């Protein structure tokens, strides 16, 4: 008789996670987390099957007792640029000595990335993804944007796809040097052969809509071309100054627009009215000494806010969502609960995901055990590695 691994196979063992001093469940609806003291939950077939007081927990096949620690949903990092080679620590040091951050620094990484082998790039992405996992990120987005040729963008996305389904084509990061005199020709390349080669490996398309990169008309054209290939749009906008990007994202009904550092009153109204998620990247302001975005104003206006790392070798070389939470609380006046929501459910909203970012019945068993009795320690103990265990 042959063994049948299909319908007749025994179900995988159920797991009771208990001894939880504080379980962050994250209620549906913008910005609200639910906190259960002395809690437990049950995992069946990779999904949460039951959540409640530890005293009422049902029996399961296996038990994980976390010994009075807090449990939070895995972080959802909806914005990173991990496919790169080279190092820009000298640029960072110069910035700390007074040089401003400028989009042109991207070209330094483009040169190094083009010169790297597939294997070097893959090893580099793997190293950063593992760094993220160790720090509690269970879902991540990765962009291309340091290749800027048809082949280099396609290979960046093919490499990123080995690590996540949330891959974003960012051929429109900057105009590369060989097109400096012909930016229109570069837009034609991005919307034509580059998109054709990138689309099979990407879920999203992004444009850096900023002075020195791409204007609103170019961004609209690129996003429309991407849509024609089945890619959903997102934008880098209003990072270095006020501009049309946030308004464009809202007009087009994009799920998320990222940075939002310099916003006008009408940008804030547009974000509120469209429901487009404002993804704030406070590690960028920390690493460029720019003013932080007005998170408090956005939340008070009713805008949905996500937090992400923007991990990249130029404007912000951190992969730590805990640091982003601490900065959001200390520098942007978000409450610890708001910051945790934005780093989990908010990131999930920015990626259109409803299976992650919340610990609730039916969601993926995707969680982080903190070496702390409360999630507040993520902001209260900045810089301390509090992630004890990660499951995803
Ligand atoms: O999100 N703003 C555009 N792109 C990146 C920076 C990339 C770089 O400086 O290499 C960002 O900040
Ligand atoms: Fe970015």
Inform me whether the pLDDT recorded for 1 exceeds 50. no
- Ligand 2: distance of its center to the CA of 30 in Å? 23
If asked whether residues 93 and 57 sit together in one domain, one would say no
Residue 5 forms part of a structural domain: no
| pLDDT, tens only, 54-82 | 999 999 999 999 999 999 999 999 999 99
Specify the ligand 1 atom closest to the Cα of 105.
Answer: 9
pTM for the whole thing? Answer: 0.96
Task: Confirm or reject: Cβ of 239 under 6 Å from ligand 1.
Answer: yes
Range(s) of the domain holding residue 258? 75-350
pLDDT value at position 299? 97
Inform me whether the pLDDT recorded for 165 exceeds 80. yes
If asked whether residues 26 and 79 sit together in one domain, one would say no
If asked whether residues 65 and 89 sit together in one domain, one would say no
If asked whether residues 334 and 290 sit together in one domain, one would say yes
Average pLDDT over residues 232-247: 98
Task: Confirm or reject: Cβ of 283 under 6 Å from ligand 1.
Answer: no
If asked whether residues 111 and 187 sit together in one domain, one would say yes
Task: Confirm or reject: Cβ of 290 under 6 Å from ligand 1.
Answer: no
Inform me whether the pLDDT recorded for 4 exceeds 50. no
Average pLDDT over residues 277-305: 98
- Ligand 2: distance of its center to the CA of 49 in Å? 36
Specify the ligand 1 atom closest to the Cα of 79.
Answer: 1
Q: Which ligand is nearest to the CA of 237?
A: 1
Closest C-alpha residue for ligand 1 atom 3 = 208
Average pLDDT over residues 324-348: 97
pLDDT value at position 28? 64
Task: Confirm or reject: Cβ of 92 under 6 Å from ligand 1.
Answer: no
Inform me whether the pLDDT recorded for 2 exceeds 70. no
If asked whether residues 364 and 289 sit together in one domain, one would say no
Mean of per-residue pLDDT scores for the chain? 96
If asked whether residues 269 and 249 sit together in one domain, one would say yes
| pLDDT, tens only, 75-114 | 999 999 999 999 999 999 999 999 998 877 899 999 999 9
If asked whether residues 132 and 28 sit together in one domain, one would say no
- Ligand 2: distance of its center to the CA of 8 in Å? 48
Mutate to test the pocket of ligand 1, among 102, 310, 317 (most ligand atoms within 8 A of CB): 310
If asked whether residues 152 and 236 sit together in one domain, one would say yes
Mutate to test the pocket of ligand 1, among 312, 317, 318 (most ligand atoms within 8 A of CB): 312
Task: Confirm or reject: Cβ of 280 under 6 Å from ligand 1.
Answer: no
Task: Confirm or reject: Cβ of 75 under 6 Å from ligand 1.
Answer: no
Q: Percentage of residues in the chain with pLDDT exceeding 90?
A: 93
Task: Confirm or reject: Cβ of 236 under 6 Å from ligand 1.
Answer: yes
Task: Kindly report the three-state secondary structure assignment for every residue of the chain.
Answer: CCCCCCCCCCCCCCEEEEEEEEEECCCCCCCCCCEEEEEEEEEECCEEEEEEEHHHCCCCCEEEEEEEEEEEECEEECCECCCCCCCCHHHHHHHHCCCCCCHHHHHHHHHHHHHCCHHHHHHHHHHHHHHHHHCCEEEEEEECCCCCCHHHHHHHHHHHHCCCCEEEEEEECCCCHHHCCCHHHHHHHHHHHHHHHHHHHCCEEEEEECCCCECHHHHHHHHHHHHHCCCEEEEEECCCCCCCHHHHHHHCCCCEEEECCCCCHHHHHHHHHHCCEEEECHHHHHHHCCCCCCHHHHHHCCCCEEECCCECCCCCCCCCHHHHHHHHHHHHCCCHHHHHHHHCHHHHHHCCCCCCCCCCCCCECCEEEECCCCCCHHHHCCCCCCEEEEEC
- Overall domain count for the chain: 2
Inform me whether the pLDDT recorded for 222 exceeds 80. yes
- Ligand 1: distance of its center to the CA of 323 in Å? 18
Task: Confirm or reject: Cβ of 315 under 6 Å from ligand 1.
Answer: yes
Average pLDDT over residues 232-240: 98
Average pLDDT over residues 380-388: 98
| pLDDT, tens only, 188-210 | 999 999 999 999 999 999 999 99
> For position 369, which CATH number holds?
2.30.40.10
Residue 3 forms part of a structural domain: no
């Amino acid at each position: 008789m042959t063994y049948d691994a299909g319908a007749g196979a025994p179900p995988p063992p159920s797991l009771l996670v208990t001894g939880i001093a504080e379980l962050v469940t994250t209620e549906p609806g913008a910005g609200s987390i639910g906190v259960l003291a002395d809690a437990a939950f049950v995992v069946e077939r990779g999904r949460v099957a039951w959540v409640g007081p530890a005293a009422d927990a049902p029996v399961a096949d296996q038990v994980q007792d976390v010994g009075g620690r807090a449990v939070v949903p895995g972080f959802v990092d909806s914005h990173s640029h991990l496919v790169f080679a080279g190092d820009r620590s000298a640029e960072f040091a110069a910035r700390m000595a007074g040089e401003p951050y400028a989009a042109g620094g991207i070209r330094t990484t483009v040169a190094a990335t083009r010169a790297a082998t597939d294997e070097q790039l893959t090893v580099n992405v793997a190293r950063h993804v593992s760094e993220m996992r160790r720090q509690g990120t269970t879902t991540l987005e990765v962009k291309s944007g340091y290749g800027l040729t048809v082949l280099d963008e396609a290979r960046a996305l093919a490499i990123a796809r080995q690590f996540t389904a949330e891959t974003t084509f960012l051929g429109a990061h900057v105009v590369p040097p060989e097109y400096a005199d012909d930016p229109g020709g570069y837009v034609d390349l991005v919307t034509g052969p580059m998109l054709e080669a990138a689309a099979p490996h990407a879920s999203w398309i992004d444009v850096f809509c900023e002075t020195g990169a791409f204007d609103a008309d170019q961004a609209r054209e690129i996003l429309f071309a991407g849509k024609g290939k089945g890619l959903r749009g997102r934008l880098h906008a209003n990072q270095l100054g006020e501009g049309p990007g946030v308004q464009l994202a809202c007009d087009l009904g994009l799920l998320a627009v990222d940075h939002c550092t310099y916003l006008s009153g009408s940008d804030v109204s547009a974000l509120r009215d469209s429901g487009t998620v404002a993804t704030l990247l406070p590690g960028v302001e920390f690493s460029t000494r720019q003013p932080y975005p007005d998170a408090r104003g956005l939340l008070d206006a009713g805008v949905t806010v996500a937090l992400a790392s923007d991990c990249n070798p130029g404007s912000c070389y951190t992969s730590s969502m805990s640091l982003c939470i601490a900065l959001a609380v200390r520098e942007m006046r978000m409450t610890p609960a708001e910051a945790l929501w934005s780093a989990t459910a908010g990131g999930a909203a920015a990626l259109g995901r409803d299976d992650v970012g919340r610990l609730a019945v039916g969601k993926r068993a995707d969680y982080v055990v903190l070496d702390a009795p409360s999630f507040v320690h993520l902001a209260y103990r900045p810089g301390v590695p509090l992630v004890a265990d990660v499951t995803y």
